[in-house]
Structure 1
Amino acid sequence: MPYIRIEVTREGVTQQQKQQLIAEATEMVVRVLGKDPATTFVIIDEVETDNWGVAGRTVTERRRMTAPRPAGTPADPPGG
């Protein structure tokens, strides 16, 4: 009874994309391990970007740091 857990940030993953993830993850386990799709469980967890960290910063903060600035907008001062 395979259990597949997929974690993504909550940023507009559509129902269609979720269905595709579930279908293709199930197909992979059937193909690779020969498991029964009727007993293969797929869970998709959506995590807020404030609750997901990479390299010591939240995804929210990293996105803010790399977002393009409108022309003429001053950069934030160091540490701010």
Structure 2
Amino acid sequence: MPMISVAMFPGRTPAQKSALVRELTDAFVRTCGGKPEGVQVTLVEVGADHWAAGGVLYSER
């Protein structure tokens, strides 16, 4: 059973999250096969003060 995990900043609406989950699931099934009910997706919202790139927190940019 495949698991797709997405880490992103907070702020998306429930409708956007639902659309994302649907699109990711459809893309996986289309490219890799299987059934939609077998695809699991987790959405992890990470605040800008807990995410960094290049040694700098996004909250400090």
Q: TM-score, normalized by length of structure 2?
A: 0.95
Aligned-residue identity in percent? 36
Q: 1:20: how far off?
A: 0.7
Residues of 2 paired with 1:6 and 1:35: CA distance? 20
Partner of 2:31: 32
Higher helix proportion: 2
User: Which structure is richer in relative contact order (CA contacts within 8 A, separation 6 or more)?
Assistant: 2
Q: Compute the RMSD of aligned alpha carbons.
A: 0.6
**1:3 partner letter:** M
Cα displacement string for residues 23-76 of structure 1 (whole angstroms, at most 9, x for unaligned residues): 0000001000012111110000000110000111101001xxxxxxxxxxxxxx
Any stretches of 5+ residues in structure 1 without a counterpart?
A: 63-80
| Runs of 4+ with deviation above 3 angstroms | none
Question: How far apart, CA to CA, are the structure 2 residues paired with 1:33 and 1:22?
Answer: 16
Q: Which runs of 5+ in 2 are unaligned?
A: none
- Structure with bigger gyration radius: 1
Contact 1:6/1:45, CA 8 A, preserved across alignment: yes
Mapped partners of 1:14, 1:21: distance in 2: 11
Report the TM-score when normalising by structure 1. Answer: 0.73
